[in-house]
Structure 1
Amino acid sequence: MKKTHFLVSMLVLTIFNACQNNDENDNDNPRKSESHTKTVNVTTHDGRPFSTGSGSVAGKFVSGPGGGVLMQGFYWDVPEGGTWWNVVKDKLTAWSDSGIGAVWLPPASKAQNGAYSMGYDPTDYYDFGNFNQNGSTETRFGSRTELEALITKAHAENMQVYADIVINHNSGGQSQANPFTGTNTWTDFSAIASGKFPRSYNDFYKNSYGNNDEGAFGGFPDLCHANPYVQDWLWGRDDSVGKYYKNVMKFDGWRFDYVKGFGPWVVNSWNSNVGGFSVGELWDSNVNTLEWWANNANSSVFDFAAYYKMDEAFDNGNLNVLNDDMMWKRNPYKAVTFVANHDTDIIKNKMPAYAYILTHEGYPTIFYRDYEEWLNKERLNNLIWIHNNKATGTTSILYTDNDEYIARRNGYNGNPGLVVYINNSTSWQERWVETNWSSQQMKDFTGHSSWYPTTQGDKWVKIQCPPNSYSIWSLNQ
């Protein structure tokens, strides 16, 4: 959630991959990636691989040996006016062709600020832009019909769609007398237009179930997940929020907002009852905390530990910190890696960071503005192709110092893997490294180096990397 912008908005309104994880359903895991599928690729004049879909056939995404990539399909304050669903829909074929296998959408239901809201102040979970309430019929992003067309198009491209779920707090209720606070609170949601999941003061803290849970946010009414009525409406009943999103709206998975605000058992219960891919926004750089939450929630988690280490490595010239612990090293099947998102964008030297997450374990995320506006799309597509086709197997770090980092993906099930070389210095660098291949020719699949070295009989080879850049090596095949 966007804390700074959102609190300003609230003030106005309140005056205003690989292989299957044991505890994840195979159909819900976008990293079920170690099986071979048909790939269609060509090579440019300078050796860069490009694909008609990174494993796609007839324009549809098909997972390659390394899996797929997640696109965050929005940024903070996307244009108002109900156009965003159509903007995203029109990009889906190109994203699929580039090897992107899933798109994460912003909160899709009607929020207190109506047509101006980014959705993180939810009022009516079942109003997707089809009821006239909170000052508008459409949401900021468009109508329900347009949202359904987007999801249908994504599925036609063999892409998954993940919903941003905000269940810590609500906003936009009417005032009512609250016996637990002795005051009036904005907790009367009995008149919501959909008629589904009406709420009152006992559905929010403090109430008959206690004074608080793990955390409230921004002064909003804090939803009480301990209340069986709330549980039933969120994930229990056949028309619960989760089951409606999945079975009627056809969402495939969930990005849970501000999971610090409630216990991991909430996401665990949702996942057990609803299913689908799941990732939580636990904004914490402590890898022990991330792992604890992921295990107890039975969910993936954004790898904030890796995020802050990448900032230190690529912006502050200390690549040695990439030896430190991160969530993807603890459990790559529950780690969603990222370089930027709608809330935080601190990494300035982004291309090496994308080279890092797209060659390492975990489920990598591309930020919309990085891909569509700010960075070199051709280079990002090249990295996505490398991820989907070459980034397989476990990871071995081969060399680090302040300026250089070299790691090897060890391959899986006949796929050879790769060696990634990141160089933060201002000059070309060369290193001898040990590969998994004896007497075989390699090439740099980024095209940054024109070398075609052959590994020695003992599997060692010399590779190179340009200044302030990266190279990615694998067998020339």
Structure 2
Amino acid sequence: MFSFSSRTRNYASADDKLTIKESWYLSKAVQFVALTAVVVIATSISVPLGVCLGGNDRCGRSEAHRPSNTSTSLPLLNDAAVAIPEAYPAATHPPLTEDANPLLFQAFEWYIPKDGKHWTRLTSILPQLQQIGIGAIWIPPPTKAATEGSIGYDVYDLWDLGEFDTHNRTATAMGNKSDLLDLAQVAHQWGVGIVIDAALNQRSGADYIQSCAITRLNPDNRLQPINPTKMADVWVGFNHTARGNHYSNKTWSCDDFTAVDYDASANNNGLFKINGHDNDFATDVSTDNGNFDYLLLADVAYDNPAVIEDVKTWGTWITGQLGASGFRMDAAKHISRSFMKNWISGVNSAIKTPFQNPPVVAEYWTTTLSELLGYVDEIGNAARVFDVPLLGQFAAIANGEASLTTMFQDSVVSTQPDSAVTLVGNHDTQLGQSSANLYVQDWFRPAAYAFILLRQEGTPCMFYGDVYGICDANGHCNKANHSESVGKLAIARTYFGYGQQHDYNSTDVSTVGWTRQGDEKHTGGLAVIMSIARTAPAPMTMNVGSEHAGESWIDILGNAKDAVVIDADGAAAFTSPPQGVSVFVSEVRWSNLSMPDWDFDIYG
């Protein structure tokens, strides 16, 4: 783990130096007391992690009243539709990376403590994240979840950011709205964008039961009914009593959902299509299982005009509330593509400081390259996608099932790099989670990070767990094994990852390398060599440019102990450890950079 200590950091210019302690006190104008780099938190989770997935009480909701099952079509209230965005200051500390060299950071893992302090912790580490070149942080869903202790994907109310007393609590598991706005304020000061995780696909924790016409479907073929249609009690009534009409006056009922996972009348779990008005399954979704509109919980109907209007207005509203720089679209595989394209167009007009263009990344989870590229095309290139095929190749290499050369082919980044957000892991690939089959073994993670961070293609996304560690369901948190290496690779990207790229391969495909020659503004350059061989590979001669002749270059990861000297032609023989990676840069240039405190423990 590492933190941003109070020692001096070097900005792009040697004359532009400022201690973090001084900078932090200068930033007090954001009505925020200076935060320490270490936050003391609870050592255990007081409530279980989970979502409201079914059962006869639907998370303890009472069925004391059953309002009409007719969805409201009243217009949204003016305070949401014409809400004045929060005022955010210009960055006191401009981003270190260039627009052409963006770096995204997923600012959570699945088992972070759900103690209401996560927004505060993130605020405290913003100086450190900016130091290593992070341009934006992807935060977990900031909206109110149905379940206490949930990370947020079981959405109860999009319009509640930890402001209203619902489900026996006001704050979300991440913190209250005030904490969230503080995070956004400080992030803007540090020039770090906020990318919001938008979980638009499902709702959970309904306020009351409604009587709906439902048909049970075959979960393996959603086009095939397995029971006749009947009237049944279903948990789809949402009136958000505590919030009332604040921000939005829309209530939710049968016609606002396509399907649910629980028949309350029969006390049965399953997949139940709701037969109503304007709530058919979307046809422009994945065709897995016949039609993959339904994923879980109460599935939102994006054929319903009232739903569309409410969720579109929410998108522009929350953009203004947080001064958002972009969105991560959860479960994009299951949401109408025409709706997604239209929704993104709306938020684009509200985003004032986009992290990049387009400022949206869609979570379309498949290793099938053609399906991913087809999705990007069908939404008119309105969003990037996570490069799941590349992640699959990383996992295969780490498992001994593929060679290093597969990293350079059959991925989004190798085929359509401007559409690729590359990653080494996320919350879904953690062990025990839904995509753990794509977990990249620990020994290969530094090499995989070198690939996504130090090559010119794609937008890399670093994972919280690889920097601050992973917790378990019992609240025990382990430090990350490679936080220092991953942090140094990010710094190398920030200061050296520019210019022309040249690839090198060994004859036995067990070792690969590449160089970046720098550009007019970033003249340093770098050389990367990695190997999956179990014995030390032969040195690889690579050229970094004659302008570096006579320079001494070192491996910033410390795997190659000896420096190399660049010859008159700009070449040198670079070495890699077995099953490892080395990254070489100018020894003088690297020594002039200030390093964070790599031993920092965010849970302290």
- TM-score, normalising length: structure 2: 0.65
Query: Where in structure 2 are the equivalents of 1:294-373 lying within 5 Å?
Result: 294-297=376-379, 298-316=382-400, 318-345=403-430, 346-348=439-441, 349=443, 350-360=445-455, 361-372=457-468, 373=479
Tell me the equivalent position of 1:163: 196
Give SS of 2:450's match.
helix
After TM superposition, give the deviation of residue 10 of structure 1 in Å. Answer: 1.8
Task: Look up the match of 1:376.
Answer: 482
1:410-429 matches, cutoff 5 A: 411-412=518-519, 415=522, 417-425=525-533, 426-429=535-538
Gaps of 5+ in 2: 1-47, 60-90, 216-230, 259-273, 286-291, 352-358, 431-438, 469-478, 590-604
Answer whether contact 1:444 1:471 (CA < 8 A) is retained: no
Letter in 1 for 2:510: D
CA drift at 1:84: 1.3
Aligned with residue 336 of structure 2, among 254, 259, 263: 263
Does residue 127 of structure 2 align to residue 93 of structure 1? yes
1:184 to 233, 248, 258: 233
CA contact (8 A) 2:540 2:573 kept: yes
Distance 1:387 1:245, change over 3 A: same
Q: CA deviation at 1:116?
A: 1.7
- Aligned-pair distance for 1:414? 5.9
Match among 167, 178, 183 for residue 145 of structure 1: 178
- Post-superposition CA distance 1:175-217 (Å, at most 9, x none): 1122465323222223453332422211211432353123345
By how many angstroms is 1:220 displaced? Answer: 1.4
Kept after mapping to 2: 8 A contact 1:407/1:420: yes
Gaps of 5+ in 1: 17-56
- Within 5 Å, which residues of 2 pair with 1:222-237? 222-235=299-312
Q: CA deviation at 1:407?
A: 2.6
Counterpart residue identity of residue 299, structure 2? D
Contact 2:92 2:189 in 1 (8 A): no
2:161 is aligned with what amino acid?
F
* 1:431 is aligned to 2:540: yes
Q: Which amino acid aligns with 2:234?
A: T
Where 1:357 maps in the other structure, the secondary structure is helix
1:135 Cα offset (Å): 2.1
The one-letter amino acid paired with 2:121 is: V
- CA distance in 1 between counterparts of 2:254 and 2:584 reads 60
Contact in 1 for aligned 2:564/2:573 (Cα 8 Å): no
Per the TM alignment, residue 435 of structure 1 is displaced from its structure 2 partner at its CA by: 4.7
Deviations 1:436-458 (A, max 9, x none): 5477345245254333332454x
Distance 1:229 1:412, change over 3 A: farther
Of residues 510, 513, 526, the one that matches 1:403 is: 510
Give yes or no for contact 2:93–2:191 (8 Å, CA) kept in 1. no
* Distance in structure 2 (CA, Å) of the matches to 1:111 and 1:8: 8
Q: Which of 149, 168, 171 is the equivalent residue of 1:116?
A: 149
* Counterpart Cα distance in 1 of 2:364 and 2:346: 22
Q: How far off its partner does 1:294 sit? A: 2.4
Task: State which of 346, 362, 370 in structure 2 corresponds to 1:288.
Answer: 370
Identity of aligned residues (%): 23
Which aligned pairs between 1:169-208 and structure 2 lie closer than 5 A? 169-173=202-206, 174-179=208-213, 182-194=231-243, 195=245, 196=248, 197-205=250-258, 206=274, 207-208=276-277
Instruction: Provide the rounded CA distance (Å) in 2 between the counterparts of 1:183 and 1:261.
Output: 25
| Corresponding residue for residue 242 of structure 1 | 315
Q: Say if 2:492 is the partner of 1:386.
A: yes
Corresponding residue SS for 1:352: helix
Distance 1:13 1:392, change over 3 A: farther
AA aligned opposite 2:459: Y
Corresponding residue number in structure 2 for 1:451: 563
Task: Summarize the Cα distance change of 1:324–1:75 in structure 2 as closer, same or farther, 3 Å threshold.
Answer: same
Partners of 1:394 and 1:343 in 2: CA distance: 34
Q: CA deviation at 1:411?
A: 4.8
Instruction: Determine helix, strand or coil for the equivalent of 1:254.
Output: strand
Aligned amino acid, residue 265 of structure 1? S
- Distance in 2, matches of 1:129 and 1:144, equals 5
Question: Matched residue of 2:236: which SS?
Answer: strand
| C-alpha distance after superposition, 1:57-97 (max 9, x if no partner) | 98653324762322211111321221111111111111112
For residues 144 and 100 of structure 1, do their structure 2 counterparts lie closer, same or farther at Cα, with a shift above 3 Å needed?
same
Q: Secondary structure at the match of 1:397?
A: strand
Q: Which runs of 4+ in 1 moved over 6 A?
A: 5-8
For the 8 Å contact 1:71–1:100, the answer to whether it is kept is: yes
**2:190 aligned partner, one-letter code:** E
Residue 209 (1) aligns with residue 295 (2): no
* Cα deviation digits, residues 1-39 of structure 1 (max 9, x gap): xxxx987752468655xxxxxxxxxxxxxxxxxxxxxxx
Compute the displacement of 1:369 (Å).
1.8
Deviation at 1:229, TM superposition (A): 1.7
Deviation readout 1:265-312 (Å, 9 max, x if unpaired): 333212211114211111111222222222333101111111111112
Judging changes above 3 Å, is the alpha-carbon distance between structure 1 residues 164 and 462 closer, same or farther for their aligned structure 2 residues? same
User: In structure 2, what is the equivalent of residue 462 of structure 1?
Assistant: 573
Structure 1 contact 66–391 (Cα < 8 Å) conserved:
no
SS of 2:514's partner is: strand
Report Cα offsets for 1:326-370 as digits up to 9, x if no partner. Answer: 111223222111111111031112111111111122111121121
How many residues of Structure 1 are paired with residues of Structure 2 in the alignment? 427
> Which moves more between the two structures, 208-217 or 367-376?
208-217
Structure 1 CA distance for aligned equivalents of residues 491 and 521 of structure 2: 18
Q: TM-score, normalised by structure 1?
A: 0.81
Q: Give how far 1:218 is off.
A: 5.0
Q: Which moved more, 1:213-222 or 1:430-439?
A: 430-439
CA gap of 1:13–1:250, structure 2 versus 1, over 3 A, is: farther
For the 8 Å contact 1:336–1:364, the answer to whether it is kept is yes
Cα deviation per residue 1:227-249 (whole Å; 9 max; x = unaligned)?
222221112xxxx1101111123
Structure 2: how far apart are the matches of 1:80 and 1:13?
26
Contact 1:112 1:123 in 2 (8 A): yes
Question: What's the counterpart of residue 361 of structure 2?
Answer: 279
Taking the aligned partners of 1:434 and 1:95, their CA distance within structure 2 comes to 32
Residues of 2 paired with 1:102 and 1:328: CA distance? 20
Aligned to 2:70: none
Could you tell which deviates more after superposition, 398-407 or 333-342? 398-407
Contact between 1:433 and 1:460, CA under 8 Å: does it hold in 2? yes
Superposition RMSD in Å:
2.7
Partner of 2:117: 83
The verdict on how the C-alpha distance between 1:64 and 1:251 changes in structure 2, with shifts beyond 3 A counting, is closer
User: Cα gap change, 1:210/1:149 in structure 2, threshold over 3 Å: closer, same or farther?
Assistant: closer
Tell me the secondary structure at the aligned position of residue 565 of structure 2: coil
Q: Is the 8 Å Cα contact of residues 310 and 353 (structure 1) preserved in structure 2?
A: yes
Equivalent pair of 1:64/1:389 in contact (CA under 8 Å): no
The structure-2 alpha-carbon separation of the partners of 1:395 and 1:147, relative to structure 1 and needing over 3 Å to count, comes to: same
Cα separation, partners in 2 of 1:438 and 1:60, compared to 1, 3 Å: closer
Q: Please state how far the C-alpha of 1:147 moved relative to its aligned partner.
A: 0.7
